[in-house]
Amino acid sequence: MSKIKIVIPCDEANHVCDKTQYKNATLWEKIKLNIHLLYCRACRDYTKNNTKLTKAIKKSKVECLDQSTKVKMKKTLDNAIEEQSR
């Protein structure tokens, strides 16, 4: 008979917390996380700070660069580094 592992270590709880923020955690992972949060203040604080960060980023309306602009910037940087190395 296999044992069901309910208690998880803090590093796994933090990983599940991150997955939850991006809606990638399974129901079972969320259940184990919530059980862990009942007795672990450090992970509760981590979860609270993670939630605040996610809300702040969404609220900031940050616009990311498109892929072609990133490629151009990288090429320019690589050329500048190569030129400085000479």
What's the pLDDT at 27? 96
What's the predicted TM-score (pTM) here?
0.65
Beta-carbon contacts of 32 under 8 Å, excluding residues fewer than 6 positions away, are 5, 6, 7, 8, 13, 16
H helix or E strand, kind and range, residue 79: helix 67-85
- 21-44 confidence digits (pLDDT tens): 889 999 999 999 999 999 999 999
Residues in the chain, overall count: 86
Domain boundaries, the chain: 10-85
Mean pLDDT on 61-84? 92
Identify the pLDDT of residue 2: 60
> What are the tokens at 33?
């996380």
